[in-house]
Structure 1
Amino acid sequence: MLTCDEAEEEDMAATELQNRSGVRIGTDLIDEFAVGLAGRLIRPADADYDEARRIWNAAIDRYPGLVSRCLGVADVIHAVKFAARNNLLVAVRGGGHNVAGRALCDNGIVVDLSAMRGVLVEPKTRTVRVQGGATLGDLDRETHLHGLAVPVGVVSKTGVAGLTLGGGVGWLVRKHGLSCDNAISFELVTAEGRLLAASAEEHPDLFWALRGGGGNFGIVTCFTFRAQRISSVFGGLIVHGRDKAREVLRFYRDFMATAPEELTAYAAMLTTPDGMPAVGIIACWCGDMEEGARVLAPLRAFGPPLLDAIQPMPYPSMQKLLDGAFPDGTHNYWKASFVPQLTDTVIDLLVEHGNRMESPLSACLVEFYGGAPGRVSRTDSAFAQRNAEYNIGMTAQWTDPAESERHIAWVQAMYDAFEPHSSGMHLLNFQSEPADQVIRASFGDNYSRLAEVKRKYDPMNFFSLNQNISAAAH
């Protein structure tokens, strides 16, 4: 039987930092590293360690050896060089909202950018500089002051970095394209600890890869975006009873086929806050308000709906409409597949599997991207899913960890059912556990070019906790 002192020593040994080869990293080296940080180094014994290792998705429960909360680029470089010298596994945390939990790792070091959330707007040039830890809410708050908006996602707590590096779809996607299409430069720290700028003029190969290629090539500490003149939008939620799901989804498909690109609208099998199974459509019109009212009139009249909350609103309010549907601390498991057409068979599958959902927090999503994304060649950036029309999202969300197995099984069964109808590509930001073959298929012919960029900038796969590209691929 262990004495108290022996038990304490055993606990300390269990939390010692080890590198990827199992070699212990001494406390003297860690102390020296901490002294060189302007930010803060958080260790397992610190009172706020559990908070530092917590992210939005409670299904991710990892125990990093160190969390380096960086205050600036110099801190990021310092952390990267320390990790490289000591062969540490590295995770990069921006907003911490990626469903796969790539912001955390076990035993290694988290390079935490969550304190780097600055946003600088240049109204005359309509450009915006955004630090790597900023969220969509941080970005929207600053751009809205100038009557501008950057095309980003749909939940304000999402990190700008992970969203953009994986492509980035949101309420402005059909008119103004993906988030990565609106990025005009990046500043990043490489695996060697160098600070590089990537744009059409500087390191164009890296610029190409960062627009959709994930976090494979370095830690982006600053993004520069092109902003659009958007201040207010016409949008909101329409809700119908679940018994109308087939009719509503078919109407949605036919309506969106001819809808102007100023309109982005997504549909979902969901459960209302009061527990009613429903089908909903959430729409965002980013053009002239009177024209938007005319265009949306048939969508609002169909049914008629049980709830019509379409109204003019500031764009940041639109960005927050879904925040409540993805609260912190729930367990999440997601998958997604692109389908070229929303056929009656696909709709039947949506209804069938939507009716099998066991959690009121889960949803089956239909997202139509036809428009601006498809006018960019699939070889112009790493993001290859340019001709994808519909993304089918399967989002399981629950609160009791004891229920995990059955909710994950529901997602997997739905994913398998859609595979025969899939284009073979997937929205990687929407995947909890993308297999290597899914990653390769999603990049298509761009994969070999991405592997060349990986060999050039990260041949040892220092940055591996991402939608990982093999440097050895040919």
Structure 2
Amino acid sequence: MDGTTLEAMRTALRGPVISPQDPEYNESRKIYNAMIDRRPAAIVRCSDAADVMEAVNFIRDNGLEVAVRGGGHSGPGFGLVEDGVTIDLSPMRWVRVDPTAKAARVGGGSQLGDLDHAAHGFGLATPAGVVSTTGVGGLTLGGGHGYLTRKYGLTADNLLAADVVLADGSFVTASETENQDLFWALRGGGGNFGIVTSFSFRLHPVDTVGVGVTVWPVDSTREVLRWYRDFIPQAPDDLNGFFALLTVPPGPPFPEEIHGHKMCGVVWCWTGDLDRLEETLAVVNQPGPPAFHFASPMPYPALNGMFDALIPAGLQWYWRGHFFDRITDEAMDVHIKYGESLPTDLSIMHLYPVDGAASRVDPDRTAWSYRDAVWSGVIAGVDPDPANAEAVKQWCVDYWEELQPQSMGAGYVNFMGAESQDRVRASYRGHYDRLAAIKRTYDPHNFFHANQNIEPAEQY
């Protein structure tokens, strides 16, 4: 981008336009995953929807590449584009709660912690992730699952409306009554269709929840997984528990004698009667005595931010995911092999339940096409040292490839890396062609392609 073009962009926009010559450039191009190192020609920090419209028009008319950054948590780093322009929504970080309507409007640059905090003041929440620094936008557009999914569905299932800037620079609202095809696509179709400048969500009565953390020695993985695979699908919707392979971190609530030990475990969330928390979690003794078990009431935002300090921004990340409708004995063999060989202290494997309320939504109601999945799995190689980047990546890829025959053949788009177009298509099953047709309507030239890309259908 030449100086004249850069100055013209600065004149056109209210928010700052940051170039490689500016002292804040290197800081402003940082994203959650430090394994990604791209240098945009400019980073545009949009202050409002009008700024986003102007930025889209300017980038398109000047033939530049575009990327969109919300919370910056994209594993493949889709919020940055080499030599193009990143539209950074971080200044648009706000939440407005209507406690009477049990709804919230959320700015496109907001993080989950912003929504959790604002809604919690009214004893309300919506299903959304397990790390509070995750961007609301990326999570929602990919579908979104977390601690409340078995009780209240996906994040996208609770989306009421979205304000969207399209590739032609126009501004539209998508909902059940306006631009219904776009609204359908936004609920799971990723960032393919436009830039969402605000979201409206349905909220639910969630205040203090029961939290549990249970870990067993890693050599108990087979017994724990056998019990867990049978227990979760028949558990009440009020109980959510994601399974993990992990190295116990050196800090509370874990006792010092298990710090640094490889373990398998479950992180629990109970939205039922808190007086029944201990009774409900007494089942953790069934696969064998745990090495550690903790249970306590906790404000919901505290649960959703519980891992923030453990995995701050700036680590090396490489992740991939699978959907599972069952946990086979063969899959257990793979989990045991790679759980015993976690390459670094922060590398993990998680199985998140996506059954319960999420599974009872009509499969054709949204773009999310795996309503018959029971778990959404993610394998993540993580470490602060760039020297270990290749090692954690190879561990993740090998683990993922060995699990592939035991999976449903696809995974959650927010847990995908830089993978093939066939993998993207598989993640949408029979919905892909409908999504491609909607893409042709709203973005016929594939302007928004820095994503798990759905290519526009050809005109006939």
TM-score w.r.t. the length of structure 2 is 0.95
**Counterpart residue number, 1:119:** 95
**Counterpart residue number, 1:22:** none
**Counterpart residue number, 1:77:** 53
Counterpart among 54, 60, 77 of residue 101 in structure 1: 77
**Counterpart residue number, 1:261:** 237
Q: CA deviation at 1:307?
A: 1.8
**Counterpart residue number, 1:250:** 226
**Counterpart residue number, 2:252:** none
Aligned structure 1 segments of 4 or more residues deviating by more than 6 angstroms: none
**Counterpart residue number, 1:362:** 347
- Give the 3-state SS of the residue equivalent to 1:185 in structure 2: strand
**Counterpart residue number, 2:33:** 57
Q: How far apart, CA to CA, are the structure 2 residues paired with 1:356 and 1:289?
A: 37
Counterpart among 392, 396, 419 of residue 411 in structure 1: 396
**Counterpart residue number, 1:191:** 167
Deviations 1:396-435 (A, max 9, x none): 0012222222221111111111111111121110112231
- Give the 3-state SS of the residue equivalent to 2:125 in structure 1: coil
**Counterpart residue number, 2:254:** none
- CA separation of 1:320 and 1:301: change in aligned 2, threshold 3 A: farther
Percent identical residues = 42
Greater mean alpha carbon deviation, residues 343-352 or residues 285-294: 285-294
8 A Cα contact 1:164 1:179, kept in partner: yes
8 A Cα contact 1:448 1:473, kept in partner: no
Deviations 1:41-60 (A, max 9, x none): 11101111001100111001
1:444 aligned to 2:429? yes
Counterpart among 157, 170, 178 of residue 146 in structure 2: 170
Q: How far apart, CA to CA, are the structure 2 residues paired with 1:271 and 1:473?
A: 49
Q: How far apart, CA to CA, are the structure 1 residues paired with 2:261 and 2:274?
A: 32
The structure with the larger Rg is 1
Q: How far apart, CA to CA, are the structure 2 residues paired with 1:276 and 1:379?
A: 44
**Counterpart residue number, 1:158:** 134
Q: How far apart, CA to CA, are the structure 2 residues paired with 1:149 and 1:132?
A: 18
Q: How far apart, CA to CA, are the structure 1 residues paired with 2:375 and 2:50?
A: 42
Q: CA deviation at 1:467?
A: 1.4
Greater mean alpha carbon deviation, residues 277-286 or residues 203-212: 277-286
8 A Cα contact 1:334 1:430, kept in partner: yes
8 A Cα contact 1:150 1:226, kept in partner: yes
Q: How far apart, CA to CA, are the structure 2 residues paired with 1:312 and 1:283?
A: 11
Q: CA deviation at 1:301?
A: 6.7
> Mapping of 1:59-458 within 5 angstroms?
59-273=35-249, 274-299=259-284, 303-458=288-443
Q: How far apart, CA to CA, are the structure 1 residues paired with 2:411 and 2:204?
A: 28
Deviations 1:71-113 (A, max 9, x none): 1111111110110110111010100011111111111001000
- Give the 3-state SS of the residue equivalent to 1:461 in structure 2: coil
- Give the 3-state SS of the residue equivalent to 2:264 in structure 1: strand
Aligned AA (2:385):
D
TM-score w.r.t. the length of structure 1 is 0.93
Question: Matched residue pairs, number?
Answer: 450
Q: CA deviation at 1:292?
A: 3.6
**Counterpart residue number, 2:253:** none
Q: How far apart, CA to CA, are the structure 2 residues paired with 1:29 and 1:365?
A: 46
**Counterpart residue number, 1:471:** 456
8 A Cα contact 1:238 1:300, kept in partner: no
RMSD between aligned alpha carbons? 1.3
Q: CA deviation at 1:279?
A: 1.1
Aligned AA (2:225):
L
**Counterpart residue number, 1:461:** 446
Q: How far apart, CA to CA, are the structure 1 residues paired with 2:335 and 2:313?
A: 27
Q: How far apart, CA to CA, are the structure 2 residues paired with 1:112 and 1:76?
A: 9
Aligned AA (1:275):
G
Q: How far apart, CA to CA, are the structure 1 residues paired with 2:340 and 2:117?
A: 38
Q: CA deviation at 1:393?
A: 1.5
Deviations 1:153-197 (A, max 9, x none): 110000000000000000000010000000010001001110100
8 A Cα contact 1:396 1:411, kept in partner: yes
Q: CA deviation at 1:391?
A: 2.2
- Give the 3-state SS of the residue equivalent to 2:139 in structure 1: helix
8 A Cα contact 2:328 2:406, kept in partner: no
Q: CA deviation at 1:375?
A: 0.9
Q: How far apart, CA to CA, are the structure 1 residues paired with 2:230 and 2:310?
A: 27
**Counterpart residue number, 1:13:** none
8 A Cα contact 2:218 2:339, kept in partner: no
Q: How far apart, CA to CA, are the structure 1 residues paired with 2:369 and 2:426?
A: 10
8 A Cα contact 2:211 2:303, kept in partner: yes
- Give the 3-state SS of the residue equivalent to 1:129 in structure 2: strand
Q: CA deviation at 1:302?
A: 5.3
- CA separation of 1:137 and 1:455: change in aligned 2, threshold 3 A: same
> Mapping of 1:36-47 within 5 angstroms?
36-47=12-23
Structure 1, unaligned runs of 5 or more? 1-16, 18-25
